[in-house]
Structures are given as structure tokens and as C-alpha cells.
Structure 1
Amino acid sequence: MTEKIKENRKFIIEDISNGLERFPVSLIYDEIKEFEELRNIFYKYVNNCVTLPGTTSDSYYDGCDCKDDCESEDCGCKSTHGFFYVSRGLNPAFLQSTSILPNISSNSGCGWGVRSHTRKIRKGEFVCEYAGEIIKTDEAKRRWITAKEKNEDNYILCLKEHVKDRILRTNIDPTHIGNVGSRSIRKERHRNK
């Protein structure tokens, strides 16, 4: 992590991603105790999902079968915001978030959250990917049970995509490895159990 500076009785880490993101992701905190907790959370930072050793691409959904574009009505990439890829590459709608300079800060009564330095984040706007370990369903269930037994929070994201005649499932766990989106969301008090 980059250097700490004290400013107006708050501490700032200029870039918790250590250059992995397109723009620096700053962290603002009030006490050294918070810093120690957050340093442990952001210890293994990634800017995209990773797989565990032994996990093959056959055990999770790795995208669509489109050859060039994600413009077919049958494409699994289509969402309420449109196709992720178009003939010119990444859909411009997903690139508009590049003017957002995120920072992580505490919001009284709500826990940690992601904010923007530059402007208000609009509803439905792409901010960042939810990154973590891609794990098999049986591993996700095992981790969920373990967390429940230890009375710990669990933020495994399970995506179920209905594509043609099948359901594709992807499990993303940011517990040990994650990014600004998955790690900050995971620290909020709105529990996902």
C-alpha cells in the first residue's frame, strides 16, 4: 500500500490497489485501529477474479460462446444495461465509469462504502467488478457452513444465468482475495446471509 498522510485528523492511503486499477483507489480512515483491520482485508488485492488451484474452466461459467460480438438475443452476457462486448470491443456504456475516482471511507451508521472523488455515482452505473476467488458450488457451500458456525459474515456472490436450456452458476468469494467492490461491500453492515 502507498504512504499514509494525515490530513484534517483523517488518515489516507493513496492507492490500496497498488496500481492494479486504472485509477488509484484511496482509503480514508479515522483511527490506526481501523487501518490495521483494513490492511488485513486488502492484503491480497486483485482487479479481476481468480480461480483456486484445481478449479477448471469447466466448473464455472467463463463467458459466452459468441465469436465476435455479444449482440445475439441468446447471448448470456446481455443484462439490463446491454451487452458487455460489441463489435468495437468493450461496450462504451461500461467505459463511462472511468471518470469515477473511488475512495473507501466510513459512513456513520452504515459501515464502509465506496464513494467517488469526482461526482455522484448514478443509479445503475457500472463502478467496478466484484472480484474474488471463483470457486465450485461444493466449496461455496463448505465456506458458507464454516462461516455460519464461526458466526462470521459471508459475502459469496452466486450468479445464476439462464442461457438457452441451462443454468450457468458462478460463485465468487472475496473472503481471502478481492478488490475495492467486493472488499468494501463486504464491510457494510447490511449482512448478506
Structure 2
Amino acid sequence: MGGNPKVANNKPEDQKLARGNLALKNSMDARTPVRVIFGRQTLKASNTSGESSKYIYDGLYTVSNYWQERGPYGKIVYMFRLNRIPGQPKLTRKIESKVKKPKACFERCVLDDVSQGKEKMPMRAMNAVDNAKPPPFTYITSMIYTECYDPSMLSGCNCIDECSDSKKCSCAVKNGDEIPFNNSGAIIKSNPIVYECGPSCKCPPSCRNRSSQRGVRYQLEVFKTESTGWGVRSRNFISSGSFVCEYVGELIREKEAKERTGRDEYLYDVGNGCDDTEDSFTIDAAQYGNVGRFINHSCSPNLYAQNVLYDHDEKRMPHIMLFAAKNIPPLRELTCDYNMNHVCNVSDGIKMQNCCSGSPGCTGRML
């Protein structure tokens, strides 16, 4: 508008034959009709604090002429004469209104530290849905083994450096003569089982083959979701392959897990499925657990579970370590495919578990 000082404190100046003015001039030269939207207004809606944008579509017009004249601030402005093309349906000029409501976000901290001071950094619980706090539980940082736990200690390596020679490190030999982590501690590729250096090894704690034993290193927080209860996100960027957390709880036999009804969402099966043998095990994080118990299932996850052994050699009860499957931007919910082929109890046998992730390719079942 020739530098209207009422708009963003612009200094008045002469208009140029450019942008919208040039487009109208070109339409006149090419005899191309233009669509006219008449009377745009921005008003306060009567029952909301948002803004209401109102428009009137007035049909097709031709541009027949243009000229210059002095505007109200003494500067040159371009004027155009538009003629409505005859034969168009008569318009009622009814105003179409579209109300844009500002997205309210009143997220607040409902718990200062979910970890109860047991992690290196406090983990807040945030809620923008209601005033609820996460359900009470006992926070632990390592597995609780019940009487079913009786594995033999895993033999360690004799490396006095940081296991720099993977062909001489006995732990690396179990991984196919290679350390499965890069120098930044990110896992290079998934394996059925990863053998890390552990308490029986002579290498120092800084050895890169101890990547998942250093605890949570990202600023994680628990938050209330709209449809899947509590979830977990990171306030930091997480690069692909990075260790996020371990899924810990009580390690129990599969048979006992079937009897613990009402805890399906906290059971992580690390055994061979639902059968009558006592060879399968389950992690129950309902009463004892860490931040991993809040990580939701998704059919399109950004984390994956890696079986890791470092303090024993019992393959039936590996540590469940969660690693980033891709680069994860800050505040993106962390999810994992729990691959629940079945959930069992004594009376019903196999029963289905619904999936509410809503992710692309979601089947609606944790199958």
C-alpha cells in the first residue's frame, strides 16, 4: 500500500510495478481472468479468544486498465480497474467464516523427578491433559532377580587397555571378532545377542564395549499422552544407534507372569512364549521398574530392543537394552515394538492385546 505506516511501522514510499501489481498488469496483457476475494476481515469471535477470518468469493474478473496516482500519504500507488465477467451465477456474498482457535498448551510439571534421585539427571513428569501424576512405583536402576536366577558368571577378557584389538578380546570374539559399538558408543548393528565386557573383565570402565552399562545419558522426561497413557520423550537430540535405557524390573518365570493379571502393559517376555515349561522368563516392571516402563509400544518405533549379556551367560534371561533405531529429534515420543505375540494368563490362555499407537502401518494389535 505504498508503505502504509499503520502496517508494521513501514515508512511511506512509492509503489513499484512488481509482485501483485505486476501480476495484475500481466493478467491484463494476457487477457487472463483473475479470481476476486472480496472483503477479507479479521474479527474477534464472540465465544473464543481466537481470531475469525472472513472471506467473500466474488467470481472471475478481467483487468481492463491501470494507472498511477498519489495515495493518502503522498506517494505513488498503482490503481487497477476490474470488470466482473458476465454470465456467472449470481452470488449471495454470504460470508464464509473459519475460526482459528489458538492451540492452548498448559503443560505443567506434576512430578520433579520420577527417578526419585536414582538417575544422574532428574526426570520430570509433564502433563497437559489433566492433573494426574504417574502411578506410584519403586524406581530401580538394575534388574531384581528372584529365586529363579541362578546363572553362571560370564568369563571376562584379559585386556588391560580398552579392548583395542578385537581379535584378542575374548568378549569381542563372541561378537564375531568385532566390538559392536563405534567410538561414540553407538551400536553399529543389531545382533541376536551382544556380549559386552563386564565385572569379570580386566579392561577399564571407559572401554567402548560397555556402552549400555553407563546408565541414562539423555535428559528424559515422562509425559501424559492423549490416548496411550504416560509416555517418554527426550529433551535432547538422540542420534541413531545411541543407548537410551535398559528395561528393568523383576525377573520372574513365565508361569508366574501368567498369574499376575492386570499387569500386561508392564510385562516384557524374554523367554520362548506361552507353554508349560519353566524355560521362559519375563520382566515385570509394574511394581519395580525404571523410566523404560513408561515407553509405549508402536508399530513404527524409533527404538529397538537389543539382548545384551555382560554379567552372566544365561541366554534365556538377557538384559533388554533399548537403542535408537533412527535419529530422534527433541520432544519426539520414544516408542518400541514390544512384539507381543501373545499375553497369557491361567484361565484364558492366549489373549489378544490391542495397539493404540496410531502409527503408519498399525494393525490395531500387538501381533
TM-score, reference length from structure 2: 0.37
What's the secondary structure of 1:182's corresponding residue? helix
What's the secondary structure of 2:171's corresponding residue? coil
Larger Rg: 2
In the alignment, structure 1 residue 113 sits paired with structure 2 residue 231: yes
Q: Give the AA of the match of 1:117.
A: R
Which residue of the other structure, out of 52, 57, 63, is the alignment partner of 2:149? 57
Distance 2:126 2:286 in 1: 21
Q: Give the AA of the match of 2:250.
A: E
Which 5+ residue runs of structure 1 have no aligned equivalent?
1-7, 162-167
Report if aligned partners of 2:249, 2:285 keep a CA contact under 8 Å in 1.
yes
Write out per-residue CA displacement over residues 117-173 of structure 1, whole angstroms, 9 at most, x where no aligned residue: 122x33443211101111122212222xx33xxxx6343212249xxxxxx744211
Tell me which residue corresponds to 1:10.
Answer: 107
Report if aligned partners of 1:50, 1:133 keep a CA contact under 8 Å in 2.
yes
In the alignment, structure 1 residue 26 sits paired with structure 2 residue 124: yes
Tell me which residue corresponds to 2:266.
Answer: 155
Cα drift, residue 11 of structure 1: 2.5
Write out per-residue CA displacement over residues 71-125 of structure 1, whole angstroms, 9 at most, x where no aligned residue: 23279xx863954327334625437885411001134445432111122x33443
Tell me which residue corresponds to 1:84.
Answer: 196
Write out per-residue CA displacement over residues 4-52 of structure 1, whole angstroms, 9 at most, x where no aligned residue: xxxx7322122111111122111101322x22xx143xx3111111134
Q: RMSD of the alignment, in Å?
A: 3.6
Distance 1:47 1:98 in 2: 10
Report if aligned partners of 2:268, 2:282 keep a CA contact under 8 Å in 1.
yes
Which 5+ residue runs of structure 2 have no aligned equivalent?
1-104, 158-169, 181-189, 273-278, 298-354, 358-364
Which residue of the other structure, out of 132, 142, 149, is the alignment partner of 2:249? 132
Report if aligned partners of 1:155, 1:192 keep a CA contact under 8 Å in 2.
no
Write out per-residue CA displacement over residues 57-81 of structure 1, whole angstroms, 9 at most, x where no aligned residue: 22xx57x622336323279xx8639
Report if aligned partners of 2:139, 2:289 keep a CA contact under 8 Å in 1.
yes
- Aligned pair in 2 of structure 1 residues 19, 96: CA closer, same or farther (>3 Å)? closer
Distance 2:114 2:247 in 1: 16
In the alignment, structure 1 residue 177 sits paired with structure 2 residue 288: yes
Tell me which residue corresponds to 2:212.
Answer: 94
Q: How many positions carry a matched residue from both structures?
A: 161
Tell me which residue corresponds to 2:68.
Answer: none
Tell me which residue corresponds to 1:71.
Answer: 172
What's the secondary structure of 1:57's corresponding residue? coil
Distance 2:296 2:173 in 1: 32
What's the secondary structure of 2:113's corresponding residue? coil
What's the secondary structure of 2:270's corresponding residue? strand
- Aligned pair in 2 of structure 1 residues 175, 110: CA closer, same or farther (>3 Å)? closer
Report if aligned partners of 2:228, 2:356 keep a CA contact under 8 Å in 1.
yes
Report if aligned partners of 2:148, 2:252 keep a CA contact under 8 Å in 1.
no
**Larger relative contact order (Cα-Cα within 8 Å, sequence gap ≥ 6):** 1
- Aligned pair in 2 of structure 1 residues 176, 192: CA closer, same or farther (>3 Å)? farther
- Aligned pair in 2 of structure 1 residues 142, 124: CA closer, same or farther (>3 Å)? farther
| Higher helix content, 1 or 2 | 1
Distance 1:140 1:72 in 2: 35
Q: Give the AA of the match of 1:85.
A: C
